[in-house]
Structure formats: C-alpha cells, structure tokens
Amino acid sequence: MTLAGRGAVVTGGSRGIGLAVARALAEAGAAVVVAARGPDGLEAAARALCAAGRRAWAVPCDVADPEGVRTLAREAETRLGHVDILVNNAGISHSASVQKTTLEDWQRTLTVNATGPFLCIQAFLPGMLARGWGRVVNIASVAGLGGGKYITAYSASKHAVVGLTRSVAAEVAGTGVTVNAVCPGYVDTDMTRQSVSRIAAKTGMSLADALRAALDTTGQRRLIPPEEVASAVLALCHGAGSETNGEAVVIAEAGSHR
C-alpha cells in the first residue's frame, strides 16, 4: 500500500504522536506539511524527514487562531499542490479538580483541542470533496469515550472531538472522503510525562507511582509507543480505509486496537 502522490498535513507534528504520524505518512510516500506552534522543533522535524529522503515542509500554526489556520491551508496548498490527508493532532492537556479548573483553563483546552480540529476541517474539507478523495483523522483519546478524575476540561474536549468526527463523517458519507478518530490511552510522549509529573506534585506520589496510577485508569500495563498510534492513523489513510468512516479506533494497550 502506498500514499505516493498524496499530500498530507499533520498538526502538532513537531514531536510525539504528531512526528510519528508525519514520519509514517512520509515513509508511505506522502508529501507532508508538519505544523505546530513552536518553530524550532518544527523546523527540526521537517529537516529530519527530508534528511531521510522524504518530502516535508514546516509551517508554523496555532490551530486556535482562525487566521493562522487559513494561512496554513494556503501554505499547504502551495507546497503540496493539494491536501488529501489531514491529521488533527495538535492538543494540550490540563489536570485539576473541577472546582480548581478556571474558566480560562476550560476555554483554552476546548479551543485548542476541539475548536482547532473544527477550524482545520473547515479549511481543508472543501478541496477533498471537490477531488472526491480525502482522509481526516482526529487524534482524540480514551478520555473522549469515558471520563476520569481531574481531567474535566481535557475529557470534555476529547468528547467534543469524537462528536465532531462522527457528525462530519455522516455529512461526507459516500463522497470518497472519510473522517475517523483514533483514541489512544496514555502514550509515551512529553505530554504524558508532564501530566504524570503534575499528578506526582499534587499528590506527593513518586513519579513511578503516579505513572502506575495513571495507567490503571485505562487498564494499561505500559505506555503506548507513538509509532503504534501512527500505525492506526496510517491504516485509516490508505485506500483500504475507505470503508471505515465515523469510527473511534481505541488503542488502550500497546499492540491492541479495537
């Protein structure tokens, strides 16, 4: 299976899940635009892909900024010619009890994690529909299918992503465009390590105990490698993924998809 001739945009693509996804898409033959807020890590990510013989470009973008997303769409079209694949991965985490979650925390988390994918879909979907082929994959979370202590804003934002996925999928059914979500548990990323550190700081637990407590909430024995999430995204982007639309693919343990 190959993605040769396809153009892809990956938000939050400078590290972690996003970088693993960008690498997987590029290795499958797609030309990739990686987007993220921080230009330093972003440029390094694109250079690494190019050094491996892939076609990749870096475009700074804050997905919470509507004008920034419109600029991303223009820049991506210029570099790629057409965008066939959109992976909405950019996101932030927030942990606090509901009583200690400020309105600013709530709004920022919902804006980045839910409004960001909405804006990107609005920007890139018309071109996909016009060409009769497209793949949108939203990186959600198992927290978007359930809930948990101290993640009120984060869980609500990921529930919104799953709802967005299913609603847009219903709109585009039968057009050649598919919209799906990937819902991983705790992944081995900087974001997870930061979350575990916050848990340890707030509870007095050791880092090891805080990690164990976090993993217990999802039934995991260990952190999921980012490449595992990338493999699930890649499967949804290939032509064989044309029959999958509106699904939330759960990765709750390394090597386990459902």
Model pLDDT, residue 219: 86
pLDDT at residue number 240? 65
Residue 13: φ, ψ to 5°? -95, 10
Order of strands across the sheet with 31-36?
Answer: 56-60, 31-36, 7-11, 85-88, 134-139, 177-184, 248-251
* Weakly modelled stretches of the chain, pLDDT under 70: 240-241, 253-258
57, 124, 150, 154: which is the annotated catalytic residue? 154
Yes or no: say if 58 and 45 are a contact pair by the CB < 8 Å rule: yes
Task: Tell me the domain boundaries of the chain.
Answer: 7-185+229-250, 187-223
Predicted local distance difference test score (pLDDT) of residue 197: 87
Rounded Cα–Cα distance for residues 69 and 199 (Å): 33
Give me the pLDDT at residue 256, please: 47
Told to judge if 150 belongs to the known catalytic residues of this protein, a careful annotator would answer: no
Query: What's residue 203's pLDDT?
Result: 81
Q: Which two tokens stand for residue 181?
A: 């979500």
CA distance 143 to 136: 20
pTM: 0.93
Tens of pLDDT, residue by residue over 144-193, are 999 888 899 999 999 999 999 999 999 999 999 999 999 999 999 988 88
State the fold for domain 7-185+229-250. Answer: Rossmann fold (3.40.50)
Contact call for residues 233 and 21 (beta carbons, < 8 A) = yes
Q: What is the pLDDT of residue 253?
A: 64
